[in-house]
Structure 1
Amino acid sequence: MLGAIATFLFGMSTMTDGLEKLSSGRLESILERLTSNVWKGVLLGALVTGLIQSSAATTVMCVGFVNAGIMKLRQTVGIIMGANIGTTVTAQLLRLGDLSSDQPLLLLLKPATLGPILAVIGILFYMFLRGGRKKIIGQIILGLGLLFIGMKTLEGAVAPLQDLPEFQELFVAFSNPFLGVLVGALVTALIQSSSASMGILQAMTSTGVVTFHIAIPLIMGQNIGTCVTALLSGIGASKNAKRTACIHLLFNVIGTLFFLILLYGCNALFHFSFWTAQMDRGSIANLHLAFNVGCTLLLLPFNGLLVTLVERLIPGDTDQKEVSVLDERFLSTPSLALEKSHDTVVQMGHFALENYRLSVELLNHFDSKKLERLQETEAALDKLEGLLDNYLVRLSDRSSLSPEDSAKVSELLHTLSDFERIGDYAVNLSDCAVLLHDRGIVFSPSAKQELRLMTSAVEETIVRALECYTKRSHDLAMEVEPIEEVVDLLRDELRSRHIERLKNGECTVELGSQFLELLISLERISDHCSNIALYIVRETSPADALIRTDSHAYMHALHHGEDQEFDAMFQEYRQKYYAPLEAAPLTSR
């Protein structure tokens, strides 16, 4: 029995993973774009979940989108309701075991025959055909075959249990609705799949002890148990992301309470004839579908109240990363479109800074939840870059654009690219943190201290660059280049110290290569900050200023002692970040 359950769960996992790979992000794109109203959301949620066979995966996608600011909280309500309907597809497939006919075609559709056939076809695709897509299709077919094989084996394993009085007594105990709901929720939470726990329940129908009043609380509990995955994904996420996971739980809990009271109350009054009727795979699948459709029809008209309720349960101002909406109507007024575009670039800067800080935290102490948050923010950053780049290109095509506005478009395009690159280098830093964590290796105490000075200097560079760009301040922009030069000094010094450690055998080649990669990424982040500050310096300088006529000559003058203000700030930041390094010994302890 346990082996059959293992085969069944592995088949479910294999099939679901393959379906998610095959979608290649397209299903996420559908969810993101086509949720203009709650009815569309229900249909899309059902479609996507029906294709990937995991309501938990669909809900986790929604949590991620809300956390990244790609979707709003209200957009997810319909998707979550539809996901509960879409997850019933697996149970409908497994009901094929109820087929009974002498016709060869129908016999082929029975799990006992179809499972091995699909497994063989799937393994042939998976092992012998080249091409990623064909391999993924093979994985899906193999998973479905194992699902049927596990189901059939489980039925055979549990069939003798029908003669055990203890087993019958156990299932009779589940007729207590609260116990049934609890057991269904716990089993589903444990195996992280309501479709899988539903399949196990369908297999148990072969014992003849599963009746309507036993199945209904178990099915309701399974719907509640599947919420655990989304709730776990919301840990460490934004408030609205937590609220998204909470909507999934509330939807199932409220639906369960309503239908339990309704069914048990009506049975007490009318004594349903089907109450103690035996269930088969098909009736379990239909009951599962009816319950989820009923919950959706019940709560869909109150979707706004559901959002209000979770906002009360998880109070506080939203910390959602809202993606700016660049309204098409602004294009007819270039000055307004440019203002909104500037706000969006600033938003990108905040995302880049957040990811940089997360990546540094990951280097100091690895946390998988912070890594997920970084990846979600990076997705929002990439989305903003694509939206804004397209928006600005369309704006630049306007014949009414003045030379000043054209220059502003060019500056915005360059700046958004700089912030996006800062985000990319932050991801590089996180990749290094992942590698160090996975291989169980750490930098020496002296290397950690050196990186701490370097990362602090780079963080101040990003903060100053973002601040000067937000306020379009000449004075603030002038503070960026001195820090950037100190970062260059730190890079050269840390590289030299690293080589000394390698020579003395105090650092491995593997750690050393990661250390150098970190230095490169950190220095390039400061370079992009310098670019951003220079745009502001150039824009806010007098028309006859050197930077307006020859930026290379201006930079040469800054770095060769021809600007006393620059030299004073350079010495200040040198004392802050480089002096502690000079006082430290060259080798590690």
Structure 2
Amino acid sequence: MEYGLFEVLKLIGALGFFIYGMKVMSESIQKVAGDKLRSVMSLITSNRVSGVFTGFLTTAIIQSSSATTVMVVSFVNAGLLKLRQAISVIMGANIGTTITAVLILFLGFSKFSISHYALPIIAFGFPLLFAKKAELKYWGEFMIGFALLFMGLSELKHAVPDLKSNPEILAWISSLNEMGFMAIIIAVFIGTALTVVVQSSSAAMAITLIMCDNGWIPFDMAAAIVLGENIGTTITANLAALVGNVHAKRAARAHLLFNVLGVVWMLLIFNFYINAVDGIMSATGHGSPLNNVADVKWGLTYFHISFNVINTLLMIWFIPYIEKIVIKLVPTKDDEDDEFHLEYIGTNLMRTAEISLLEARKELVIYGKIIKKMHGFSRELIKSDSSKKIDKLLKKIEKYEQRTDDLEIEINDYLVKVAEGRLSSSASEEIRAILSITGDLERVADIITRMSKDASKKSKYKFEFSKDQMDNLEGLIDLVEKAIKVMLENLNKDYSDVTSVSAEKAEDAINAMTKKLNKAYYKHIEEKNYDVRTGVAYRDLIVGCEKIGDHIINVSESLAEINAED
């Protein structure tokens, strides 16, 4: 049998064909149902059963357990799900991923193969790509992805080598069977490695089904490979979580722990379970996968479904213990500067733009809280007469300002990576708004720092603000604080609930008082006993407060514009 470089490239191309079709189909259905899925998942309570059902339903709809897992991690980071709830959703996702195998088996391996109708399906989906309505475009993408997936599967089946005419490789497989239970362990590692290489448990399952269909591997080895695929599907998320935050690491470790424990108990009763599946299939007239090569792929599907269902039913009672274990495995760092690092987003965990934007929104809330702290430090500095305290507060403000610069860069870099993916029009608008908001928040931090430096001059040049000046400044600073509070409230709201009315009132109050103080300032300049140095510092603080108000109102207006676009 000749199987050269060209044939190898055809095999890799067919695999890429299949995986690309899966990717297009999954991403498009997420765009269609993304907001609905987000609403459903955010309503999950501590009920484990509802969590499992939600994980199953989500994965069955979007046809990607990896996407569901990343979505879950996003919601844990965003505070919409507790770790315990997330574990139950991940368990449900393991059951949901079996739906893909069933679809592949029924539509790709039966006499009625969907690949025969792939081109007509594309013919229906292609015109939808040019529709004005975004949802119709996504449905068009879904139909094309669905067709490409099964075209890829068909090509994959034809691209694999004809091992029936290659007894050497078959002899190698037979030699593995002679190793007894060690062959099962090796098959688990093969399944794990296969999933890591192709980066898709669905693709790995499709390859395993093809091997079964061609009679390359017996039922028990195929089942062991599937067990390995259950472990392999968690590796990608765990590697990504290495540079993620503590929440991401814990969710990823919980997924790995759940799958590994499931494989361990299954290996302990492996032979009994395989015989049980064979016995049930034979008794119900579905053939014997242990004795008939043609029945192996069906036996593998029954094994895959039953294992994931039973594993979930068993492990659901141990969720609190899994939670405690992963918290011990990934403890919280108590670094002094931990508050400055991105808490909710991790660039290497990003998979879908729609979900990633939820994480970015939460980072904006953290950013806003840092601005509020800086404003509080600035107030203390302006009121203080102690040069030691002024220096300490100034260093603290400068340190916070440096980190706000870093936060702006990190959030913007993250959004740029999000923008590289396939975006809906609403997601594009949201990205533009968030980029604008981070710019406004960073400029507020710069202004607060500059105001603090201006106020610190009173220690250096030995001057003091008069009682009237201090009263005026405190009144204006109070108005700015109220505006910041309104801004934070809007950042915490859903887009549909955001209005700029309260923000505009707060901005109007700042502008009115600024106008009043400016008028009084120019009047005092005419007085002969007026200290110019004190007056300049006083005037700079007034201007600074006015500029802060301008940028704060921009934040609320940007959020309100997203609501209007929606």
Q: Could you tell me the TM-score, scaled by structure 1's length?
A: 0.59
In structure 2, relative to structure 1, the CA distance for the partners of 1:370 and 1:61 (3 Å cut) is closer
Name which of 214, 218, 235 aligns with 1:211.
218
Counterparts of 1:209 and 1:552 in 2: how far apart (Å)?
84
| CA deviations over 1:464-496 (Å, ceiling 9, x no partner) | 315468x9996599989xx99xx9xxxxxxxxx
Q: Which moved more, 1:310-319 or 1:261-270?
A: 261-270
Matched residue, 1:295: 311
In structure 2, relative to structure 1, the CA distance for the partners of 1:269 and 1:202 (3 Å cut) is closer
Matched residue, 1:151: 153
- Asked whether the equivalents of residues 115 and 150 of structure 2 are also in contact (C-alpha less than 8 Å), the reply is yes
Matched residue, 2:207: 200
Matched residue, 1:341: none
Matched residue, 1:64: 74
Matched residue, 1:28: 38
State the one-letter code of the partner of 1:120: A
- Asked whether the equivalents of residues 277 and 299 of structure 2 are also in contact (C-alpha less than 8 Å), the reply is no
List aligned pairs for 1:296-315, cutoff 5 A: 296-315=312-331
Unaligned runs of 5+ in 2: 1-10, 178-182, 280-287, 402-435, 453-472, 482-509, 526-530, 542-566
1:45 Cα offset (Å): 0.4
Matched residue, 2:264: 257
Counterparts of 1:381 and 1:558 in 2: how far apart (Å)?
40
Name which of 9, 30, 35 aligns with 2:19.
9
Matched residue, 1:227: 234
- Asked whether the equivalents of residues 63 and 234 of structure 1 are also in contact (C-alpha less than 8 Å), the reply is no
Counterparts of 2:438 and 2:41 in 1: how far apart (Å)?
36
Q: Are 2:136 and 1:134 equivalent residues in the alignment?
A: yes
Matched residue, 1:47: 57
List aligned pairs for 1:557-568, cutoff 5 A: 564=534, 567=537
In structure 2, relative to structure 1, the CA distance for the partners of 1:157 and 1:569 (3 Å cut) is same
State the one-letter code of the partner of 1:45: G
List aligned pairs for 1:401-412, cutoff 5 A: none
State the one-letter code of the partner of 1:145: A
State the one-letter code of the partner of 2:323: V
Counterparts of 1:42 and 1:318 in 2: how far apart (Å)?
33
Q: Are 2:51 and 1:88 equivalent residues in the alignment?
A: no
Counterparts of 2:475 and 2:175 in 1: how far apart (Å)?
73
State the one-letter code of the partner of 1:247: A
Counterparts of 2:298 and 2:344 in 1: how far apart (Å)?
49
- Asked whether the equivalents of residues 155 and 206 of structure 1 are also in contact (C-alpha less than 8 Å), the reply is no
1:557 Cα offset (Å): 6.4
In structure 2, relative to structure 1, the CA distance for the partners of 1:520 and 1:78 (3 Å cut) is closer
Provide the secondary structure at the position in 2 that maps to 1:24.
Answer: helix
Q: Which moved more, 1:517-526 or 1:300-309?
A: 517-526
Provide the secondary structure at the position in 1 that maps to 2:46.
Answer: coil
Q: Could you tell me the TM-score, scaled by structure 2's length?
A: 0.61
Identical-pair percentage? 28
List aligned pairs for 1:113-512, cutoff 5 A: 113-126=116-129, 128-158=130-160, 160-172=162-174, 176-264=183-271, 275=290, 277-278=292-293, 279-316=295-332, 368=347, 378-380=360-362, 463-467=373-377, 475=384
State the one-letter code of the partner of 2:66: A
- Root-mean-square deviation (CA), in Å? 4.8
- Asked whether the equivalents of residues 49 and 55 of structure 1 are also in contact (C-alpha less than 8 Å), the reply is yes
- Asked whether the equivalents of residues 98 and 282 of structure 1 are also in contact (C-alpha less than 8 Å), the reply is no
Matched residue, 1:397: none
- Asked whether the equivalents of residues 67 and 240 of structure 1 are also in contact (C-alpha less than 8 Å), the reply is yes
- Asked whether the equivalents of residues 191 and 225 of structure 2 are also in contact (C-alpha less than 8 Å), the reply is yes
1:228 Cα offset (Å): 1.9
Unaligned runs of 5+ in 1: 101-106, 320-349, 360-366, 385-418, 424-458, 488-515, 542-546, 572-589
Counterparts of 2:474 and 2:116 in 1: how far apart (Å)?
70
State the one-letter code of the partner of 2:207: I
1:368 Cα offset (Å): 4.4
In structure 2, relative to structure 1, the CA distance for the partners of 1:165 and 1:540 (3 Å cut) is closer
In structure 2, relative to structure 1, the CA distance for the partners of 1:115 and 1:285 (3 Å cut) is farther
- Asked whether the equivalents of residues 98 and 281 of structure 1 are also in contact (C-alpha less than 8 Å), the reply is no
- Asked whether the equivalents of residues 47 and 86 of structure 1 are also in contact (C-alpha less than 8 Å), the reply is yes
1:528 Cα offset (Å): 8.2
In structure 2, relative to structure 1, the CA distance for the partners of 1:567 and 1:124 (3 Å cut) is closer
- Asked whether the equivalents of residues 277 and 303 of structure 2 are also in contact (C-alpha less than 8 Å), the reply is no
1:562 Cα offset (Å): 6.9
